[in-house]
Structure 1
Amino acid sequence: MKLVEDMPNPIFLDLKPNRLLLDSKFDGYKLSLDTLPIYITPFLNGVDRVGATDDQYSIQHAKLFGLYNCLHGDPFNSNVSYVVDRNWTVHRVAFSNEANTFEPLQEVWNIPTRTEQTMGRHNVNITFPSERYVVVSDGFSTFFIVETGDRSVNESTSWKIVHEQKEIQEHSIHKLGQFTLLDSKMYKSSTHEVFLDILLLRLQNKSDTDISEFLDKHDGEFLAMSANHPFVSKINWLTFKEDAGKWSSDCSRTLLGPSALDYACLEREGSAVLIASENHFAFYHVSNEPLRYTKKSKNVKGTEVEKPDYVWMQNNTEITILFKIPIGARKTDITVDVKPSSICLVYGGTPMLEGELLQNVKSDESVWTINPHSVIDEDNTEDSEPFVSGNLSTLQSQYQSLEIILQKASEVRWEGESVVKGVSSSSQGQQVLDPEAVANIQERLNHLCSDKWNDDPLRTNICDPQQLEDCDCLPADTTSFMRLDKNLQCISHVASLGGHQWLFSARVHGSSIPAMCIRHDVDGLLWQPPEVDNNLLDSWTLEHVGTFSAMGYVQASKQQRKFTACPPDLSYLAICDASKHVYIYRQPHEIGSDLRNRKTGQIISHVSKQHVVSLEPPLEILGAHATDDFLFVLTTQNVHAIRVKEVVDE
């Protein structure tokens, strides 16, 4: 987004891979015929899940519903997950390493708003802010802060609600409506007060009142980014405070962005939100303090400028002046008096333009008319964004244009921002480029460029685009990773992910902040955001912590993939199809003795294995959770535990 007055420039992060974590001699994955032990426990109550309705048709909805993971892994307890059935009962699913079997399924809690479900709700979600608390959302009206006790043991005690939140405070009281729980973090302040930060996502239509008001006030770049998106992503960042066992709302913040989320989480102590998305997000409301930055127009030099009252363009023979007027304005409301050396325009009894013209005109040949389709966009009148007739992506339909055409008395170019001399500050104009002039300039520059792949067929191509595979193509959209700071109320750090295909995210090395895996060349590289306080922002960066060799190619070949996961120790990566098949790719490990390639003579001391697992019966896969020892896979009727670690140790 455009920077505004006094807003600090974000720090741009350069993603530099650690060469020590790259394997230039990687020789592919070898298909293993070893049978992986699979343990199964039935889940016959039916898994609760919903799909998008006819009104939820955006790419944001497709990602949100299509990639929903019904198996909620507990990051504080290995081999423990939770599943919600159709009766909205939360079941604890645990596997015992000692007994090599699933523990009996345990019903730990019933979501109390089951009978209040509404059409179009989002899926139930569970997050784990600490070892003794969870946050549960019902997807349509309420989220709950729940005390669980010690989740590492299979106790008979049930979870207990300590706070129930049905509404949030913004400009006025709004019900949550359809929403998804993204993340939650519990932490202590320097004064030992306990806080809980919760991140919620709502997909809201741009026609909603509060969204349309925000878009009207926001800068033109945000409007342009959201032009192709009927819905915007609205993130509610809520902070709760504990006092004597009771929880109360301490602050609410709202962020807005025009595109779907690939990644969104809170920092460990609630100091920032980390987001990966096609477009930038921005703060647009904070409950207990005003926004620090107000959107204002700025020119390329960064100085504030006034919005023009009209724009005008010229060619050799005429001057065209464009005013924005409300829909419903009639010609009887307008008076235009053009004389050879002056002009007077009055609308509704109020002078809009009056004064001596820069040059003489042919008053008897000058005309004016009302165009019912607005061709003026006040957000496209900045110095950095010249107005041309083809740049109409952010038009505002509540306006129409008044067009005045003045015939020049002589073919002399008019110089200035206004068409009249000595214009008052109440009637500011701006000259923009005429489309014909732009076309003439482009035609004169055609000899410097070509619209062909190779303008000289006899010249050898360095790269033949016909040899590229689908997985080599860069993403059509440029994705950014950004850190939005709570205190700064703006983006503090940003990294461009353009050219790097998004693969997945996962918690690694016990971190509370998920790492994100993106494609670099053919490999999948894991980048870990740091867990630091605000005093170290200058050194805040993304660290390359792991590599899955050739994973860019591997994932591109899996057209039916639905879930991708890896354990905290990064020992393997699993790709789950929409049904039946699971593919497991191990990191290279040493073999008992060196092997020599008979053709090349190369000595091979490490081998990377691939396992293909077929789940029986072949049902739809609804969720996956990877631990160091097991890969847990949820289908419509069973929970499968695939033992991965045991084969490595053999």
Structure 2
Amino acid sequence: MEVAANCSLRMKRPLLDPCFEGYKLSLEPLPCYQLELDLLALSVAEVKLRDDQYTLEHMHAFGMYNYLHCDSWYQDSVYYVDNVGRIMNLTVMLGLPWWLMLDTALGKPREVFRLPTDLTAYDNRLCASIHFTSSTWVTLSDGTGRLYLIGTGEHGNSASEKWEIMFNVELGRPFIIIHSISLLKAEEHSITMLLLRTEKEELDMEGSGFYVSLEWVTINKKNKDNKKYEITKHNILRGKSVPHYVAFEPDGNGLMIVSYKSFTFVQGDQLGAL
């Protein structure tokens, strides 16, 4: 891994067109589709910010959270977590004629997985988060501090989709998952993921009293030894703002962070600023 570096984005004025007259925006309203959930148990498990989560970073990370999780591998499927800890799947049927889409754009919720933890028993939990790592793998945080690695078959395909826990671990304070990738090198399968949480900083007398922690976690399994999955890397970065954008490089060896303030490795293989 190369030494981390900061890079500031600068405007190039020669690329600006002084004769540009602006985009022609449509005045038509954007379509909005709704689905009434009759039972309380079927409704989305929304988690409100607590009184001690009062900073701007808490609001950015957890207060403006999209509870609908889009499956980038099967874009006609969205998922959410309901009040009893079930992962529910909705099919989006946007290819239908407009006169049929008024009532049938969203399919009925279908349960694909149930969390083994009673989420209502935790007062200090965060919203559950899901990231679709590949077409057959999902990383999941239940919002209480436990991480799940789930094999799904081909999620989005009800005939072959079967969610099964392949690995889970307790990682302490609650967190959300913001990115993950799946890699297969020399018969060794690995899942690399990035977790975000806010931590109390007792010695900070001038700022908000909190910092943002990004945890770079890698879980491996060597097929030839038929071993179980295990954590093989756990790096921690610390900063003072929630990133606008974070993503791993395709090979899993690098990380791109777009943030108002810089991040620094405080634990792991690589120390330095990012």
Smaller-chain TM-score range?
0.7 to 0.9
Residue in structure 2 matching 1:266, options 232, 242, 248: 248
2:178 corresponds in structure 1 to 182
Match of 1:41 among 25, 35, 44: 35
Deviations 1:578-619 (A, max 9, x none): xxxxxxxxxxxxxxxxxxxxxxxxxxxxxxxxxxxxxxxxxx
TM-score (norm 2): 0.82
Q: 1:131 to 1:18 in 2, by over 3 A?
A: farther
Using a 3 Å threshold, how does the CA distance of structure 1 residues 261 and 117 change in structure 2: closer, same or farther? farther
Please say if residues 155 and 162 of structure 2, whose CA atoms lie closer than 8 Å, have aligned partners that are also in contact. no
The size of the alignment, in residue pairs, is 260
Report if aligned partners of 2:146, 2:174 keep a CA contact under 8 Å in 1. no
Question: Partner of 1:123 in structure 2?
Answer: 127
Paired letter, 1:47: V
Paired residue for 2:198, among 186, 198, 203? Answer: 203
Task: State the 1:10 CA deviation.
Answer: 3.3
Structure 1 residues 234 and 40, CA, compared in 2 at 3 Å: closer, same or farther? Answer: closer
SS at match of 1:155: coil
Shift of 1:268: 2.1
Separation in 1, partners of 2:76, 2:239: 36
Alignment root-mean-square deviation, CA: 3.0
Which residue of the other structure, out of 236, 258, 272, is the alignment partner of 1:254?
236
Q: In structure 2, the residue corresponding to 1:60 is in which secondary structure?
A: helix
Q: Distance in 2 between matches of 1:96 and 1:9?
A: 44
Contact 2:46/2:127 (CA < 8 Å) preserved in 1?
Answer: yes
- SS class of match (2:244): strand
Query: What secondary structure is seen at the aligned counterpart in 2 of 1:130?
Result: coil
Aligned residue identity for 2:251:
E
Aligned-partner Cα distance in 2 for 1:107–1:97:
21
1:523-602 equivalences under 5 Å are none
Q: Is the 8 A contact 1:52 1:120 kept in 2?
A: no
Are residues 1:56 and 2:60 paired?
Answer: no
In the alignment, is the contact (CA less than 8 A) between 1:262 and 1:276 conserved in 2? yes
Taking a change above 3 Å as real, the CA distance of residues 154 and 15 of structure 1, as seen in their structure-2 partners, is farther
Please say which structure displays the higher CA radius of gyration: 1
What does 1:504-515 correspond to in 2, within 5 Å? none
Counterpart position of 1:154: 158
Counterpart of 1:490 in structure 2 is 272
The corresponding residue for 1:553 is none
Paired position in structure 2 for 1:78? 75
Deviations 1:592-647 (A, max 9, x none): xxxxxxxxxxxxxxxxxxxxxxxxxxxxxxxxxxxxxxxxxxxxxxxxxxxxxxxx
- Structure ranking higher in strand proportion: 1
The counterpart of 2:260, out of the listed 259, 275, 278, is 278
1:238 to 195, 217, 226: 217
Matched position secondary structure for 1:62 = helix
Highest RCO, 1 vs 2 (Cα 8 Å, sep ≥ 6) = 1
**Residue 119 of structure 1: how far off its partner (Å):** 1.6
Say whether 1:107 aligns with 2:101: no
CA separation of 1:68 and 1:156: change in aligned 2, threshold 3 A: same
Go from structure 1 to structure 2 and tell me whether the alpha carbon gap of 1:98 and 1:65 turns closer, same or farther (over 3 Å shift).
closer
Q: State the alpha-carbon separation in 2 of the partners of residues 21 and 270 from structure 1.
A: 35
- Cα deviation 1:13-66 (Å, max 9, x = unaligned): 554569779684234545535x77665433342111112211222221121222
1:143 and 2:147 are equivalent in the alignment:
yes
Shift of 1:123: 0.7
Q: SS of the counterpart of 1:51?
A: coil
C-alpha distance in 2 between matches for 1:14 and 1:58: 27
1:238-387 matches, within 5 Å, as: 238-243=217-222, 244=226, 246-286=228-268
C-alpha distance in 2, partners of 1:53/1:266?
31
Q: Please list every run of 5 or more consecutive structure 2 residues that lacks an aligned counterpart in the other structure.
A: none
Alignment CA distance shift 1:247-1:59 (3 Å): same
Q: Classify the secondary structure of the residue corresponding to 2:199.
A: strand
Where structure 1 has 5 or more consecutive residues not aligned to the other structure, the ranges are 1-6, 168-175, 213-222, 290-487, 493-650
TM-score (norm 1): 0.37
